[in-house]
Structure 1
Amino acid sequence: MDSNEYLITSSQSSQQCSACLWDYNTLNAQKFYRNGGTVSSKCLEFLGQDYLLTSEAGKPLLHVWPLNNQNVAKNIRLILPEPANCLAVCPHNIYLAVGINCKIYLWHLSSGKLITLQQKNYQPVTCIKFSSDGDFLLVAGQDGILIAYNLSDLTATSNNFLSQFDIGQVEPVYVKNDHSMPIRDIHVGHFGRKSRFATVSSDQTCRIYSLLTGRSLLTLVFDDLLTSVVFDSPCWQLFVGTEKGSIRQFNLKNPPKTISHHVDEKSELTFIGHKKRIVCLALNNSNNVLVSGSEDHFVITWELKSRQILKKIEHKAPITNVKFVLAYKNFSVENFKPKIILKSLERSRDTNTDFVISQIQTEDIELSDEETSLSNEKIRSDLMRDNQKLRIVNRQLYNAAIMISKKNSSSNIED
């Protein structure tokens, strides 16, 4: 087992702590992160090697802890427009994506600027995931719709002179309507844009797609409602959590010949130990330990080869999050020196703040105060209009370049 990894968990009870850091080999608690309320499911992330970020259930608040400190950072205020359904931080720790009701908010962390606000789902967003290289953002909702955005398309809107209302919503890379009921979880592989990703839904299906093209690769039909999903780093073994508390394993090294496959419960590998719905799953870096969190108040670590229980951690309430994390030095340092800069989050986009127009020098021109004011105003108006035209042209050139790049990438993959 890995001694260079920790396990962090959270539950619906925040009496003792909001989240707890464990040595999962010995079950010794390393840190109790307090005073952050109850952490919502799918609302716990690490910001690099510096901070723990969570969203408080039922409140429009994000809480941040330095990794070495058990108390919430008081000098960082992250207030949301409304309570978060889910959140994700990009792999480079530059952008924060938050699902609030049916909308997606994207913030630039070091400045706090709201980059864009998107709404394609008709019902509340249930999960958000970045690809491992940060190029894609996947969004799923209760309406069963899966949306894939190119992150560069989302961030490019902040460099356009036009307002978000004028330019409209960003066009997704693709939209999938394969699920007939709410999507409960997404897992994305570790191979960047060449990865696969999996979704599970209340319609009892697990679907696997190509990240780059959105092409459906395999549909697995189970006999129970599916609630969570994860697969190992090579994408050889798939694990899905169910409503009844079992964890089902499926071998992707020898996939079925048909694109749709009905999974026979008797012939598949099953992890049995939980009594209620599986809320979350995670694998360690070595792909030899699986961790599961359930509504039965237990977190269980499993040995993959034998499917035997290694450790059980009992909580006072249903589990909301489980996650493996490397044993960073900042967990134990006394002098905390973060590399990531965090600012308060803006609640609306202000495109006018991105522009600075040089002052026109008029000392050598003899004009009255009124004429000078009108002259400056006219120059400013002309410059703004020209700036707008240039940005529209640049945006069109950028879109054309992206389309050419995508076509070349697709053709290379097919070859």
Structure 2
Amino acid sequence: MPRPQDVTLYAASSAPVVCCEGANMAAPMEIIMSSDSGSQLWNCTVFDLHSGSSLLSYRGGNSSARTLAVLRGDFLLSAQLGKNFINVWEIQRKDQLQQKIVCPGVVTCVTASPNGLFLAAGVAEAIYLWEVNTGKLLSVLNRHYQDVSCLKFTDDSSHFISGGKDNLALVWSLCSVIQLDLTHAPDPRHILGRHSLPITDLCCGMMGAQARVATASLDQTIKVWELSSGELLLSILFDVEIMSVTFDPCEYFLFCGGSDGNIFQASLRSKSLNRDRSFQSDIDGNQVFKGHRNLVSCLSVSMDGTLLLSGSHDETVRLWDTNSKQSIRCLAHKGPVTNAVIMPAPANMFLPDSRPSVPLPRFSRHLHGSEGDGVESGEVCVRLGLYTQVSPQGKSQETYLQKADKLNSLMNAITDKSVFGDGENTKVRVAELEEEVQTLKKINKDLYDFSSQLLTKPT
């Protein structure tokens, strides 16, 4: 099959904005959003996934890698490259920078929970977690020993995973992180510590707390983990450092961006039972996408799994057909690409007269109870688990947080019993089966004795 010629489009700052309203065209279902470190007049650009035409440009500064996020479909966020603040735009007001979220240091990564309630950012080795509706800083997590390089929420917003330059990936339960007892620092649910060099990227699959997580590292490996148990499921060794990783929607394949510009498609359906493997092309569906001339910094897959998007330090974003492994479109940028993602088009993006349903509050820089961040007049502050309940007899009882944990454990136990069976019921069932086996053995012996008597009876 002949290779189709790449189509090159330039994301120029002077590119006209295509307005969907009044142009006899429907708003796209999926869009490409990308940014690079070289543009000066615009920050990130929106392209049509199928035509490659430029739709919108958001101006003001430059975005750092792994900091582009859409919040509640109303706001676009990205951390300023090398600075200590996050830029915020209303999704439909592309030409006006609305707000800046000031942080205590240079922001290294940003992620928003899919339910739109929480925003997390990596600042040096710390993770800052805000409640979006109030702007309050709920927690500052200091369990990494070096800079946090990537953050991702699960699709049900119940957990988030952080990867750092200390070679560690940490799994955090949101329930334990947002508890407001400031005397106790939350602990990660799991510590994924099998990498030997800094983690460069991570991706989280579907199914919430039962999802699989893939981590990429400079140690030339991709590791796949089970989120619920923290168990290592698979480790794939490559010949180059891996800079980016993503699943396809069905999680049949991993797409891994290398430091040499190649993109490796690693099959997760291999017949091999070995947990540690080496990548070999043309084995069990393993393939290589060739076209970039520098490291691949970001990867994303369309909802139907037929298109792969990649951004590179060679100043291009490429769109690939996953079946033929051919590059079908090339979007040229003005600097190394820092973010490139395929996402569903937010409903308000192409409606200039729309406004966010809930305005974004001012984000706090201090934890609750810190100086300069007290409770406003008339505001009620509920702190679960901060104080213990006292019974009428004066005896200390469980805190609300302890009761919530106990209830959660009980619910999980009930789920486990319904799936795997209750331990006591299992013992009773085993005893019944053993008794039935003994009865069958006795019947068999009686039949044998009766048959023997008939055969040996003199005629």
TM-score range for the pair, normalised by the shorter chain length: 0.7 to 0.9
Alignment of 1:1-400 (within 5 A): 3-35=28-60, 37-74=61-98, 76-157=99-180, 160=181, 164=182, 166-167=183-184, 169-265=185-281, 267=283, 268-351=286-369, 353=374, 388-390=387-389, 393-400=399-406
Which TM-score applies when normalising by structure 2?
0.78
How much identity, in percent, do the aligned residues show? 26
Does the C-alpha gap of structure 1 residues 387 and 141 become closer, same or farther in structure 2, counting only changes over 3 Å?
A: closer
Q: Which moved more, 1:20-29 or 1:223-232?
A: 20-29
Conserved? CA contact 2:242–2:257, under 8 Å: yes
Closer, same or farther: CA 314–77 of 1 in aligned 2, 3 Å: closer
Summarize the Cα distance change of 1:387–1:209 in structure 2 as closer, same or farther, 3 Å threshold.
closer
Is contact 2:93–2:352 with CA below 8 Å preserved after alignment? Answer: no
Q: Measure how far apart 1:14 and its partner are.
A: 2.5
Distance 1:232 1:266, change over 3 A: closer
CA contact (8 A) 1:150 1:172 kept: yes
Any idea what SS the aligned residue of 2:68 has?
A: strand
Q: CA deviation at 1:89?
A: 0.3
Per the alignment, in what secondary structure is the counterpart of residue 342 of structure 1?
A: coil
Alpha-carbon shift at residue 327 of structure 1 (Å): 2.7
State the Cα distance separating 1:409 from its structure 2 match. Answer: 5.2
Q: 1:393 to 1:357 in 2, by over 3 A?
A: farther
Cα deviation, residue 77, structure 1:
3.6
- CA deviation profile, 1:230-283 (whole Å, cap 9, x unmatched): 111111011100010000011112352111111225643100000110000000
What is the identity, as a one-letter code, of the residue corresponding to 1:9?
S
Distance 1:188 1:387, change over 3 A: closer
Corresponding residue number in structure 1 for 2:11:
none
1:343-369 deviations in whole A, cap 9, x for unaligned?
A: 1111111238469999xxxxxxxxxxx
Kindly tell me: are residues 191 and 237 of structure 1, through their superposed partners in 2, closer, same or farther at Cα, counting changes over 3 Å?
same
Q: Distance in 1 between matches of 2:281 and 2:239?
A: 8
SS of corresponding position for 1:330: coil
- Take 1:327 and 1:355, find their aligned partners in 2: how far apart are those partners? 37
Give the root-mean-square deviation of aligned CA atoms.
2.4
Distance 1:342 1:261, change over 3 A: same
Supply the distance in 2 between the matched residues of 1:355 and 1:400 (Cα, whole angstroms): 33
Q: Are the counterparts in 1 of residues 87 and 101 from structure 2 also a CA contact under 8 Å? A: yes
Pick the structure with greater CA Rg. 2
Cα offset, 1:330, TM superposition: 1.3
Distance of aligned partners of 1:24 and 1:325 in 2 relative to their CA distance in 1, 3 Å threshold: same
Q: Give, as a single letter, the amino acid of the residue that structure 2 aligns with 1:93.
A: G
The verdict on how the C-alpha distance between 1:320 and 1:414 changes in structure 2, with shifts beyond 3 A counting, is farther
The answer on whether the counterparts of 2:59 and 2:97 sit within 8 Å (CA) in structure 1 is no
Contact kept in structure 2, 1:80 and 1:345, CA below 8 Å? no
Cα 1:402–1:16, aligned 2, differ >3 Å: closer, same or farther? same
Distance 1:92 1:207 in 2: 27
- Cα distance in 2 for residues equivalent to 1:22 and 1:266: 33
Take 2:291 and 2:77, find their aligned partners in 1: how far apart are those partners?
30
In the alignment, which residue of structure 2 is the partner of 1:379?
Answer: none
- The structural deviation recorded for 1:288 is 0.6
Mapped partners of 2:263, 2:378: distance in 1: 60
- Hey, what's the Cα distance between the residues in 2 that align with 1:332 and 1:59? 30
CA distance in 2, matches of 1:141, 1:73: 30
Normalising by the residue count of structure 1, what TM-score does the alignment of the two structures yield?
0.86
Structure 1 gap ranges (5+): 359-383
After superposition, give the CA deviation of every residue in 1:116-140 in whole Å (9 maximum; x if it has no partner).
1111111111111100000111011
Hey, what's the Cα distance between the residues in 2 that align with 1:255 and 1:203? Answer: 25
Seen in structure 2, the aligned counterparts of structure 1 residues 103 and 293 have a Cα distance that, compared at 3 Å, is: same
Match of 1:401 in 2: 407
- Following the alignment from structure 1 to structure 2, what is the Cα–Cα distance between the partners of residues 410 and 133? 20
Q: Which residue of 1 aligns with 2:439?
A: none
Deviation of 1:57 (Å): 1.0
2:155 alignment partner, SS class:
coil
Shift of residue 65, structure 1, vs aligned partner:
1.4
Residue 380 (structure 1) aligns with: none
Alignment match, 2:23: none
1:410 and 1:212 map into 2 onto residues whose CA distance is: 13
Q: Is the partner of 2:47 in helix, strand or coil?
A: strand
Change (3 A) 1:325 1:24: same
